[in-house]
Amino acid sequence: MTLSKQSTLLALGLGLAFASVCAEDSLRPEIGRHLQQAADLAQKGKAREALGQIGEADALTGKSAYENFTIERMRASVAAAAGDNATAAKSFEAVVAANRLPAADQIKAVEALGGIYYRLKDYPRSASWVARYVKDGGSDPAMKALLAQDYYLAGDYAAAASELQREAAAAEAAGKPPAEERLQMLLACQRSLKDSSGYVHTMELLVRYYPKKEYWSDFVHRVEIRAGFADRLQIDLYRFKYAHGFLTQPAQLMEMAQLALQAGFPTLGKKVMDQGFSAGLLGRGSQADRERRLARLVDERLAAAHTDAEKSVAEARDNRDGTALINLGMQVADAGDARQGIALAEEGYRKGNFRHPDDARLRLAEVYIDQKQDGKAVGLLKGVTGSDGAADVARLWLLQAHAAQP
């Protein structure tokens, strides 16, 4: 945030603009001479010499209120141009306190103080003046943006977060994405405040408008470690991580393969293990034997699934609820028969009687998404509620669908 020397001089009328504004306002000739010389020197770029002449005028005794105001007005402008921010700040404050400027110039002086104190790294004072600028009707977006930065640098994270949240909401209301760097600052504030729910909401904005892998990874991790996340939903979260390339460690691949087997998805387990071996992540380290044993177990379960396919369908249809049919549909779709997989999952969903209805919505939606039928998935995902983690996983898929839109 900078305030140019030229704009400061022009905004506050340096030069010959210290004539009387009221009939009773006048300068004694000796003060006028010093200020005229100061104005001439300033116009030539000799700010230090100009400050000397202003000091000569100020040293005269018996000055009127108007003379003091005019001296401080010129000193504020010249000091700002000279880079003497401490002097400029003191004089600008005197000018504002005098309340003699026209309204348009008064607010420019307030604006100048916000910028000067920022350059002085006196962030609390800068925030105070910028807040006054906004309150008095100032409309410069750069100054409004400075307010949150002042609060942040001053360590007032709650105030900074409030400003940044207001800013993000205004951008969305205007149909624009909030600025990425401002959302990053908001995250930093919420991290310092230990505001978990606010942090997750800001991460949603980042992955929605700036779907970078690092944002997705952080957001998924926040979902995974949230209090109350149900173990039965780990496989659903892993499906999301697998689909987006977040499994980069051997332990992650092994855990997902085991979860896939436990949930009745051997084809998914096979895909995960094959990917790990192909990428050189599995079969090479100290856990190579264990990894090969799991790979053999996956192959055995997959072979059994193929052998018992018709029996599995019959058993799933005999169940009171549709959970087994949905899960079987996921397995069949994973194996490459999209039409039959979707049909089984839809049949299970129609059957109902679920112990966990949100799981049913989520998993049918996952089948649709895996088969590139996102439109069908969105309505189901929006209906997933609750506090056990299903709604969080659904939200991941919804955000992914939004981010994928052109």
Q: What per-residue confidence (pLDDT) applies to 196?
A: 87
| Same topology between domain 5-153 and domain 238-403 | yes
**pLDDT averaged over consecutive 10-residue blocks of the chain (406 residues)?**
40 41 71 94 93 96 94 94 94 96 94 96 97 94 94 97 96 96 97 93 93 91 89 96 93 97 96 96 94 97 94 94 96 95 97 95 95 92 92 93 64
- Domain residue spans in the chain? 5-153, 157-210, 238-403
What pLDDT is attached to residue 15? 36
Q: In this predicted structure, what is the pLDDT of residue 140?
A: 93
5-153 in CATH: which number?
1.25.40.10
d(CA 370, CA 360): 15
Q: Are 31 and 71 in contact (CB under 8 A)?
A: yes
The pLDDT value given to residue 405: 56
- As assigned by CATH, the class of the 238-403 domain is mainly alpha
User: Residue 316 contacts by C-beta under 8 Å, 6 or more apart in sequence?
Assistant: 324, 325, 327, 328, 344, 348
- Token pair in block for residue 160: 């900074």
